[in-house]
């Protein structure tokens, strides 16, 4: 499903970027994807997807 119509970015692309780069904020995500820089209607949906994906990331523990 497209979340950003202005830049033709779908939810799968957002999820892959969050998994790959693990941004700490929406502003950091915007460095990797051009979302929310034109009409702004996608910001809420992208934030929800980002937060959902960050919660589902596996937690890594230091061994040493």
Tell me how far apart the alpha carbons of residues 17 and 37 are, in angstroms, rounded to a whole number.
17
Average confidence (pLDDT) over 18-30: 95
Q: What tens digit of pLDDT does each residue of 33-59 get? A: 999 999 999 999 999 999 999 999 887
Count of all residues that appear for the chain in the document: 64
Q: Which CATH number fits domain 2-55: 1.10.580.10, 3.50.50.60, 1.10.10.1100, 3.40.50.300?
A: 1.10.10.1100
- pTM attached to this predicted model: 0.85
**Which pair of structure tokens corresponds to residue 18?**
């969050």
**Could you say which DSSP state residue 11 is in?**
H
């Amino acid at each position: 499903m497209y979340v950003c119509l202005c830049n033709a970015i779908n939810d799968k692309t957002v999820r892959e970027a969050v998994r790959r780069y693990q941004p700490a904020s929406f502003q950091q995500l915007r460095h990797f994807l051009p979302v929310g820089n034109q009409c702004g209607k996608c910001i809420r949906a992208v934030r929800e997807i980002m937060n959902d994906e960050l919660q589902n990331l596996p937690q890594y523990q230091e061994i040493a």
